[in-house]
Structure 1
Amino acid sequence: MALISPSRRLRRTPFSEGVEAQGVKAYTVYNRMLLPTVFESPEADYLHLKKHVQVWDVACERQVELIRPDAGKLMQLLTPRDLGKMGEDQCYYVPVVDENGGMLNDPVAVKISDDRWWVSIADSDLLFWVKGLASGLRLNVTVHEPDVSPLGIQGPRSDDLLARVFGDEIRAIRFFRYGWFDFQGRKLAIARSGYSKQGGFEIYVDGSDIGMDLWNALFDAGQDLDVRAGCPNLMERIEGGLLSYGNDMTDQNNPFECGLGKFCNVDRVADFIGRDALLKVAKEGPSQQIRPIAIHGEAVPACDRPWPITIDSEIVGQVTSAAWSPDFHTNVSIGMVDKAHWAAGTKLTIETPDGPRDGSVQERFWI
């Protein structure tokens, strides 16, 4: 494929120097920043992630900071998930929807305090939506993008690596909670979360100036753990059913279609954008929904556009992410399927660029 031409519009990250030294082979563009996609090879990166520990430059998961007295009010307006009992050491996965109930983003919300929040976003211009709401509703809140860049630590040896840099207290952090840890005299929020099913953490690096110091400290501490640079791995994230905004869902899909109904407390949250639309969907149920689909045969090509799913030549859905799984010896995929055909075991035809393939709806994702 063609190379990506660098410019000031395509931002480097606080860790780009380290990524390049580790031999990055490919990037994508995410929130107008560089996101590594391959180091050794997709399969080699996948196998290493499942056995060891990797350091991921995910600074592209930009933060939208809400600060001042109405921050909590605005945060609840953004999502149908009930934030009322959220503690100041918690981070929630939250669907963010528009007035029609369509997905605008699926970020992680980090509650720093009642009047300060970080929203760690997927690839979309959510900052402008949030600023528009704050201005239009005349809320007493400041909305901006702070100099906070996530650094992912993923893989089964993640605890061991971080304990060497931040102390054994890191092991006590529970899933989707965070703690404050010192690095070079600066307090960093570290959450047990991340975009893989292998376990790990996300470090919210507050200040670009310490990015490479932290990167180097992690690699120095983890030499005997076979620490490597890594990145979100397509094969592994499909196996685990981790959705990609812009690929598996857009603003044309509501959270119930995306399998995120458990994060929509429409009966408890009295005031959020899109409530009327989601109340209707909650009552009637979605007409289509994301399902895991096995695609039979040899490895499929890259899925860079939706692939129609058919039954007897009738389109009943589309595959939005697909890859060969070395561990499960099949093509794993994520697809949006009509209600009449989403039952586990349903036989499908997937229209790939290489021609039609047989497939079947699975009972669950693979990991």
Structure 2
Amino acid sequence: MAEIGPNTRLRVSPFYEATIGEGVTAFSPYNAMLMPVSYGDPDAEYDRLMNGVAQWDVSVERQVEIKGPDAAHLVQLISVRDLSAIDVGKGKYIPMCDHRGVLINDPVVLKHEDGTYWLSIGDNNILMWARAIAAERGLKVEICEPDVSPMAVQGPKAEDAVAAVFGDWVRALKYFWFAPAEINGIPLIIQRSGYSKQGGFEIYLRDGSRGTELWNIIKEAGQPWGIGPGNPNPIERIESGLLSYGGDTDDKTNPFEVRLGKYVDLDLDDEVVGIKALRRIKAEGVKRQQLGIVLDNSERHPGHAIWYDMLKDGERVGHMTCGAWSPRAHSMIGFALVGADRAVGDKVDVIRGGYRDPATLCPLPFF
């Protein structure tokens, strides 16, 4: 069997050995790291997330740490959402755009007590981007990737499992709120968050030498609730209408096209990167939109869609950007990035592997 040799271009997580022990069967590159994406039984992984508790290695959600006198100013410059009211111990979901108004990431920003900010990023080099903007503006900041690696505990019973380790105080955390914690001397941050709609927490490990130890603590505590390994689940995220930056977006996608308009504050200062372009895009009219799509063929299809052409009366009207067979919908479902002139209920054809699959556009989320 061929092996991938981890190196500085493709690093492993502090939880790598633990995931090997859990029987991981597949990895995917993400933020120059190996992300576990399968443990060999997708039905069981989906069931744990929907009905119990799942443990995920999501250390690929790298943190970009920004601190210094101009830290708050820089974070606002690279966010098109107003962050003036963000409080210590709370996070916010933010679109980040380039100078064209094109979406380049959608991290969660965390504001710490000492005026330090973390950007918990998707798959893109935001460390380099933040440093470039800071240098361009002559800002007094320090920017680095700290020794921080998130683990997600997700599912309807995740709160019970996490409370069993850290105490009932975690139940009071509201969404995106976070607080410091430790277990056996392991320094952590606990935040109510995660890439699912089933509830849960992300536990930010602050000592990469103790990944296996932390994994085993959470695993043992979660046994009464049937905890098991998993990963950000492609089926559940589609059913729940969660955007995948880089999966559902291309090099021209702006926030308005992918349902992020409510996170864009157009009255921000002109200095904010991309804000002037977004005002122009809004004034001229958004050209594309993201809708759901249901394939008429209800048979289960293997694999996940990657930007399949979508036709209407023989003319390309957009793309199906992702797809999966949904146990809840009993259909193949996905996201469509289509022209603004398309509407819910429109019939289209999806071209997959040379075949033409009839489908119907629908609202998001599915559930």
Paired position in structure 1 for 2:309: 308
Paired position in structure 2 for 1:126: 126
Distance 1:318 1:3, change over 3 A: farther
Distance 1:3 1:292, change over 3 A: farther
Q: Structure 1, residues 183-216: CA drift from partner, whole Å, max 9, x if none?
A: 2335422111100111111111111022221111
Q: Is 1:72–1:114's contact at 8 Å kept on the other side of the alignment?
A: no
In 2, the alpha carbon distance for the partners of 1:240 and 1:293 equals: 13
Deviation at 1:326, TM superposition (A): 1.5
In 2, the alpha carbon distance for the partners of 1:314 and 1:165 equals: 56
Give the aligned residue type for 1:323. Answer: A
Higher deviation after alignment, 208-217 or 314-323:
208-217
Structure 1 unaligned runs (5+)? none
Paired position in structure 2 for 1:230: 230
Give the aligned residue type for 1:7. Answer: P
Paired position in structure 2 for 1:155: 155
Paired position in structure 1 for 2:25: 25
Q: Is 1:71–1:114's contact at 8 Å kept on the other side of the alignment?
A: no
1:78-117 counterparts in 2 under 5 A?
A: 78-113=78-113, 115-117=115-117
Q: Structure 1, residues 128-149: CA drift from partner, whole Å, max 9, x if none?
A: 1111111221110011111100
Deviation at 1:328, TM superposition (A): 1.2
Paired position in structure 1 for 2:278: 278
Deviation at 1:114, TM superposition (A): 6.6
Give the aligned residue type for 1:37. Answer: V
Give the aligned residue type for 1:337. Answer: V
Give the aligned residue type for 1:49. Answer: L
CA RMSD of aligned residues (A): 1.5
SS in 2 for 1:256: helix
In 2, the alpha carbon distance for the partners of 1:362 and 1:304 equals: 17
Q: Is 1:288–1:339's contact at 8 Å kept on the other side of the alignment?
A: yes
Q: Is 1:322–1:334's contact at 8 Å kept on the other side of the alignment?
A: yes
Q: Is 1:256–1:285's contact at 8 Å kept on the other side of the alignment?
A: no
Distance 1:3 1:71, change over 3 A: farther
In 1, the alpha carbon distance for the partners of 2:99 and 2:73 equals: 17
SS in 1 for 2:341: helix
Q: Is 2:76–2:83's contact at 8 Å kept on the other side of the alignment?
A: yes
Q: Structure 1, residues 78-99: CA drift from partner, whole Å, max 9, x if none?
A: 0110000011121111111000
TM-score (ref. length: structure 1): 0.96
In 2, the alpha carbon distance for the partners of 1:315 and 1:200 equals: 40
Runs of 4 or more off by more than 6 Å in structure 1?
none
TM-score (ref. length: structure 2): 0.96
Higher deviation after alignment, 182-191 or 289-298:
182-191
Taking only the aligned residue pairs, the percentage that are identical comes to 39
1:316-355 counterparts in 2 under 5 A?
A: 316-341=317-342, 343-353=343-353, 355=355
Q: Is 2:45–2:54's contact at 8 Å kept on the other side of the alignment?
A: no
1:1-367 counterparts in 2 under 5 A?
A: 5-8=4-7, 9-113=9-113, 115-297=115-297, 298-303=299-304, 305-341=306-342, 343-353=343-353, 355-367=355-367
Aligned length: 365
SS in 1 for 2:279: helix
